[in-house]
Amino acid sequence: MNNQEILAMGQQYVMNTYGRLPMALVKGEGAWVWDAEGRQYLDFVSGIAVNSLGHAHPRVVEAITKQAHALLHCSNLYWIEPQVKLAKILVENSCADKAFFCNSGAEANEGAIKLARKYAYQNHGPEKYEIITAVNSFHGRTLATITATGQTKYQKGFAPLPEGFTYVPFNDLEALTKAVGPHTCAVMLEPVQGEGGVVPADPAYLTGVKRLCEEKGLLLIFDEVQTGLGRAGKFLAYQHYGVEPDIITLAKSLGGGFPIGAMLAKDHVAKAFQPGDHASTFGGNPLASSAALAAMETLLQGGVLENAQVVGEYFKDKLTELIGQFSFVKEVRGMGLILGLELTIEGKDIVARCLEQGLLINCTNVNVLRFLPPLIINRDEVDQALEILKKAMA
C-alpha cells in the first residue's frame, strides 16, 4: 500500500484523534525512517521522545525476539525476572528505592497521584488530597492526568473533571508558596516542560520547591516521562539540579520503542501501597521489561548519555546562531537533546516545509519548534537537519 491508500483506509476506520501528516512510516534504522513509498527522512521527533536509541537498535531487537520465543505475558501474580532486573537498574541509578510498572506515561502519573494521596491519607488524614501542578504542564490524557495538566485546551469538553488539583505559574516560587493550603499533599512538576514549550526549571526554583515541600510535609513528584532517561543529558533530568523528588514517573524512551511506563518512589512513600491498592495487568510484562532492560543497559553502558550531552550542546549552539540570522527566531531553550526554538510566528508551516525536504520535527505551544532526535545522533546528522531547517525557515 502507498501513503494515500493507507491514509484513505485510516480515515475510514481509525478514530480522528490526531492531526496526522499525510504519510505512513514503514521502516526505521538509527536516526532515519522511510515512508510507504520509500522516501527517507531524518527523524528529529523520535516517536515523541520514545526512540532514544534510534530505530531498530540491535540490542533491543535481540531482546524482544529472544523474549518473544520464551514468554510474552504471565501477569504480576508471579515474579518476572526481567522486571526485577529492570527495577534494580532504575533504582540503582536514581534516588528511588522501589519501582511500579505500567504501560504509559499517563498511567505512571495516575499511579503517582494515587500513591501521593494514599501516603497523605495514611500520614496526615483524609483532608490531605490536593496536588499542585504548573501552568502549561502536561501529565497525560486520562481524566485525572488532563486535570493535573495545567492547560485548559486539553480539558475542554470533558467536565466534570476530578477535584483536587491547583495550578500555579512555572518557575514562580512565591505563587507556589501562596497556593499551599490545608488540603495540599504534593507538588507535581516537570524538570523541563516539554509540551509547554521546552521550558527548563530554574535551579533556584527547584531548590526552593524542595525546601517548601520539606517545611510543609508535602511530597515532591517529578514527571520525567519526557525528560528522563538521557533525554536531558543525564540519566534523569533532576540530576542536573541536585534536588531529589519523592516520586518519579517514567515512560516514553524506557522501552527503547516498546510501550512501558514506571513509577519510582522512595521507600517511606512506596510503603503506602499494599496488595490491592494499585495494579496493572500488562505492566512490566516479560516482553516489555526485556526490551526496557536492554534499552537501559545500552543507555548506561554504551556512551549514549555522554553523546547526548556533547551533541546536545553542539546542536544548541548551532540553533542559537539562528537568532541573528532570522528575525522571527526569539529564543533557544532546553538541555541535552530536548531543545526548543521559540519563534515570534506560528511554526506549523516550517514543520511542513521540513517534512517536504526530508526532516521530521514538530511544533508545540503553537510557536516553539521542538527537537527530540535519538540520543545516538551525531554531528553530521545535526548539520544535515540544520541545513534543511534553514531552507524551510528561509
pLDDT in tens, 210-249: 999 999 999 999 999 999 999 999 999 999 999 999 999 9
Q: Measured between alpha carbons, how far is 363 from 352 in angstroms, rounded to an integer?
A: 10
Give pLDDT, residue 333: 97
The per-type count for the chain, helices as H runs and strands as E runs, is 14, 17
pTM: 0.96
Grade residue 46 by pLDDT with cuts at 50, 70 and 90.
Answer: very high
Q: Is 223 a catalytic residue?
A: yes
SS3 category, 75 = coil
Mean local confidence (pLDDT), 25-42: 97
CA-to-CA dists, residue 220 to 42, 213, 216, 343, angstroms? 38, 7, 11, 32
* Phi, psi dihedral angles at 152 (to 5 degrees): -65, -25
CA-to-CA dists, residue 114 to 70, 121, 130, angstroms? 34, 10, 11
C-alpha cell at 301: 553502558
- Whether residue 178 is predicted with pLDDT greater than 90 in this model: the reply is yes
* Angle in degrees, 0-180, between the axes of helices 348-356 and 379-393, rounded to the nearest 10: 120
Nearest of 36, 2, 34, 7 to residue 20 by alpha carbon: 7
Nearest of 260, 270, 326 to residue 294 by alpha carbon: 260
Domain ranges of the chain: 3-57+303-393, 71-301
Give pLDDT, residue 277: 96
Q: Is 391 a catalytic residue?
A: no
* Phi, psi dihedral angles at 208 (to 5 degrees): -70, -35
Grade residue 392 by pLDDT with cuts at 50, 70 and 90.
Answer: very high
Give pLDDT, residue 196: 94
Over residues 126-165, the pLDDT tens digits come to 999 999 999 999 999 999 999 999 999 999 999 999 999 9
Grade residue 302 by pLDDT with cuts at 50, 70 and 90.
Answer: confident
CA-to-CA dists, residue 386 to 97, 328, 358, 359, 393, angstroms? 41, 16, 12, 9, 10
Grade residue 7 by pLDDT with cuts at 50, 70 and 90.
Answer: very high
Mean local confidence (pLDDT), 77-95: 98
CATH among 3.40.640.10, 3.20.20.100, 1.10.10.10, 3.40.1080.10 for 71-301: 3.40.640.10
| Average confidence score pLDDT of the chain | 97
Mean local confidence (pLDDT), 1-25: 94
- Whether residue 260 is predicted with pLDDT greater than 90 in this model: the reply is yes
Instruction: Provide the residue type at 53 as one letter.
Output: L
Catalytic residue, chosen from 252, 258, 316, 371, is 252
Nearest of 297, 285, 286, 372 to residue 51 by alpha carbon: 372
DSSP bridge pairs for 32: 29, 42
Grade residue 209 by pLDDT with cuts at 50, 70 and 90.
Answer: very high
Q: Measured between alpha carbons, how far is 355 from 4 in angstroms, rounded to an integer?
A: 16
Q: Is 222 a catalytic residue?
A: no
* Phi, psi dihedral angles at 323 (to 5 degrees): -60, -40
DSSP bridge pairs for 265: 98, 247
Catalytic residue, chosen from 44, 100, 101, 138, is 138
Cell 539562528 sits at which residue? 322
Write the class of the CATH domain 3-57+303-393: alpha beta
Q: With beta carbons less than 8 A apart as the criterion, state whether 228 and 250 touch.
A: yes
